[in-house]
Structure 1
Amino acid sequence: MYYFGQFGLDRKDQHVGLANQQYSSQSASDFAQTRFVHHSLPELKLEDVSLATSVAGLDFAHPFFINAMTGGSEKTGKINQMLGILGCFGKIPLASGSVSAAIKDPSVAETFSVMRRENPHGIIFANLGAHHDVDNAKRAVDLLEANAIQIHVNAPQEIVMPEGDRDFSMWLKNIEILVRELDVPVIAKEVGFGMSRETVAKLASVGVQTVDISGTGGTDFAKIENARRAFHDYDYLEGWGQSTVVSLVEVMSLPADRRPQVIASGGIKNPLDIVKALALGADLVGMSNHFLQFVKDGKADRLEEAMQAIDRYQTQIAEIMTMLGAKTVADLRKTDLILAPAVQNWCQARGIDWTAYARRSAEK
């Protein structure tokens, strides 16, 4: 027995509703407890700060984007339409939710392609699971005229999902084939469970040049799938995985020549979280549920609020960078950070020098 009793298109609506129930405006604890060392002489003018960054061969005017959410039903199609409008007028890159629904049922393709129709010139990432073959991935890219594709790895979600996959034996090999055969960049993406350095090293070994480490602290898809079950019998898996901060220090502990570019997502709630993620090694930061709050009801007036939030974030990121004396996104990696106590403990157990983050400015 399962909580909702039926599967199919409405599963996407269930996900949106359950993700909305989980939303909190509070920063994830590891972000909140990780602090910059304040130095009183920034020696920098605000007007000299650049927010530009580059990921997967694509240039971004600002270091954050709207990450993968949804699609595949009438309701989620309306959400994607609003996201497309937001991407166009807010000049912010977007990622679609998993396009697998449109691969299985072409009649729902419009719930995804509407993002490109509303945003004809912006950067859009397609999204598909790691078990899909090259033909399906090409269909996903073509549907969205995507600039890149996220290939998501989500074993905990699949295990808890009543109708989920149970065979993950070919994921790595399949990702290698997709990297080799597709004409757009492939981004290997977690879905809120974080990545270890071992995972990232394996992905890099098969040619992946960009990962989205997507840690805990935001939407918990194991919790979402468990809520769809009648007896909620996977309660004990709530919180499974590594936080976004832990995942960042994990990947940054790899040698530079074995380390792909990093997108950070999972529990990012405000401009300070974004700047902390960039300082911890991310080249780009994704936010999902935060922007879902603006578009979930399909009200046009909330779009204006969302655009104002984007403008506000851009301004405030530059202001925080000025306070830190960081002229560029790369300069943030030279700022000093005191990691959260839980992250320090993790680093100690994993043989990662967490104290080095606190004295990086002295090495400039």
Structure 2
Amino acid sequence: METEIQDSNASARKQDHISLAFKSQIAHSKIDSRFYYEPILAAHPKKETTSFSFLGKTMKVPIWVSSMTGGTAWARKINYHLARACGEYGMGMGLGSCRQLLYSNEYFEDFNVRKLIGNQPLFANLGIAQVEKMLFEGAVHQVEELVKRLEADGLIIHVNPLQEWLQPEGDLITRPPIDTISELLQLTDLKLIVKEVGQGMGYESLKALFQLPLEAIDFAASGGTNFAQLELLRSNAQKQMIYENLAKIGHSAEEMIQFTNLLIHELGDKMKCKQVIISGGVKNYLDGYYYINKIQLPAIYGQASAFLKHAQESYEDLQTYIEAQVHGLALAKCFLRVR
């Protein structure tokens, strides 16, 4: 005679099912049409993660902490929490603008996170205007020394002409950024990533960048924090009226993925950069999973504001957020196929 196993929660669970049944209905228009749901083909994910190579390092999850902050009251706490999390969960990190470190060590400890991130990818960050200035002054060695002091794997160059134009304290960019980036590549062995700052890039800009031996291109597409809009909000009413429509110009991550897939076939052997960080409007793990599976190059996805929000709180709060993302990615990989 078989022994009946008692489920002590059965009664409460059934009551929940009855009381919540009507609230749990989802309209057809609300269904996420980006995926096929395949519940038959896999078991629940195991706790072990699968490592993979990206930016010359071993990562555990395809998540990049996008460049954010430094030189502010909370910067050290935020960067330390983020770096520690990257080390714990196997993610990569781009530092916020390191411009201040070119001239002073006052804020160095805000960025000094290698001891926390371990051997995960870590990249310093400068704006295209600063790189242009360093080249003009024959001071490329200062950029190299910055990367070395931070024990970073390379340098992110953020290309931000609209932000600089709209920023009250902005710098003038005097030559096409592609020329500056190309010259720096000729003068140094630094590994370079190039990104925008919240408006993305069009087809021709991507075409030019993909033909350079960059480590990766970071989309920083429209849909997330738009730094041109941010600077406009810091300006006076007249300037806001003149330029408000300019901040609305840009390209979404999905559009830039389409550009990239077309360029793979158009450029062929001329394509020298073959890694991408998809950022800009990535709200959660489903967005990230969709994007990295739509693009035809090795890719990870980046987030900034979501990490910033949780990194300002306790480290435990940040852990809870990241673990939810990691578990969500694992479920998506098991049961979802991108259409």
**Same fold (TM > 0.5):** yes
Q: Distance in 2 between matches of 1:208 and 1:225?
A: 28
Alignment partner, residue 309 of structure 2: 293
Against the structure 1 CA distance between its residues 120 and 52, is the aligned structure 2 distance closer, same or farther, given a 3 Å change threshold? closer
Contact persistence 1:90–1:307 (CA under 8 A): no
State the secondary structure of the residue aligned to 1:312. Answer: helix
Structure 1 CA distance for aligned equivalents of residues 87 and 330 of structure 2: 22
SS of corresponding position for 1:105: coil
TM normalised by structure 2 equals 0.77
Deviation, structure 1 residue 137 = 2.4
Give per-residue Cα distances to partners, 1:295-330, cap 9 Å, x unaligned.
23xx4xx21121122222212211111113xxxxxx
User: Corresponding residue for 2:317?
Assistant: 305
2:253 maps to 244
- What is the CA–CA distance in structure 1 between the aligned matches of 2:115 and 2:246, rounded to whole Å? 39
Whole-angstrom distance in 2 between the partners of 1:136 and 1:170: 22
Aligned to 2:114: 116
Alpha-carbon distance, 1:266 to partner: 0.9
Tell me the CA shift for residue 182 of structure 1: 3.6
- Aligned residue for 2:81, secondary structure, equals helix
2:123 equivalent in structure 1: 125
- Match of residue 294, structure 2, among 280, 287, 295: 280
Q: Are positions 1:320 and 2:335 aligned together?
A: no
CA drift of 1:250 comes to 1.1
Which protein, 1 or 2, shows the higher relative CO under an 8 Å CA cutoff with sep ≥ 6? 1
Correspondence 1:229 to 2:235 = yes
Q: Which runs of 4+ in 1 moved over 6 A?
A: none
Determine which of 160, 164, 177 is the counterpart of 2:170: 164
Query: Structure 1: which 5+ runs fail to align?
Result: 1-31, 325-334, 338-364
Structure 2 unaligned residues grouped into runs of 5+: 1-30, 135-139
Q: 1:308 is matched by which residue type in structure 2?
A: T
Q: What SS class does the counterpart of residue 106 from structure 1 fall into? A: coil
Alignment partners' CA distance in 2, 1:34 and 1:182 = 46
- State which structure, 1 or 2, has the greater radius of gyration over its C-alpha atoms: 2
Amino acid corresponding to residue 317 of structure 1 in structure 2: L
Aligned counterparts, 1:1-364, within 5 A? 35-39=34-38, 41-42=40-41, 46-47=45-46, 51-113=50-112, 115-131=113-129, 132=131, 133=134, 134-231=140-237, 232-233=240-241, 234-256=243-265, 257=268, 258=271, 260-281=274-295, 283-296=299-312, 299=313, 302-324=314-336, 335-337=337-339
8 Å Cα contact 1:176/1:207 also seen in 2: no
Q: Distance in 2 between matches of 1:74 and 1:37?
A: 46
Report how many residues are paired: 291
Identity between Structure 1 and Structure 2 (%): 27
Closer, same or farther: CA 217–289 of 1 in aligned 2, 3 Å: same
Aligned to 2:22: none
Instruction: Decide which moves more: 78-87 or 263-272.
Output: 78-87
Q: After TM superposition, give the deviation of residue 247 of structure 1 in Å.
A: 1.1
Q: CA deviation at 1:126?
A: 0.9
| Contact kept? 2:55, 2:215, Cα under 8 Å | yes
In structure 2, how many angstroms separate the alpha carbons of the residues matched to 1:212 and 1:223? 19
Question: What is the alpha-carbon root mean square deviation over aligned residues?
Answer: 2.5
Asked if 1 retains the 8 angstrom alpha-carbon contact of 2:61 and 2:90, the reply is no
TM-score of the aligned structures, taking structure 1 as reference length: 0.72
Provide the rounded CA distance (Å) in 2 between the counterparts of 1:280 and 1:168. 36
CA distance in 2, matches of 1:33, 1:47: 25
Instruction: Name the SS for the 2:301 alignment partner.
Output: strand
Shift of residue 210, structure 1, vs aligned partner:
1.4
Instruction: Report the Cα offset of residue 79 of structure 1.
Output: 2.1
Shift of the 238–170 alpha-carbon distance from structure 1 to 2, 3 Å rule, reads closer
Report the CA distance between 1:199 and its aligned residue. Answer: 1.1
Distance in 2, matches of 1:178 and 1:57, equals: 20
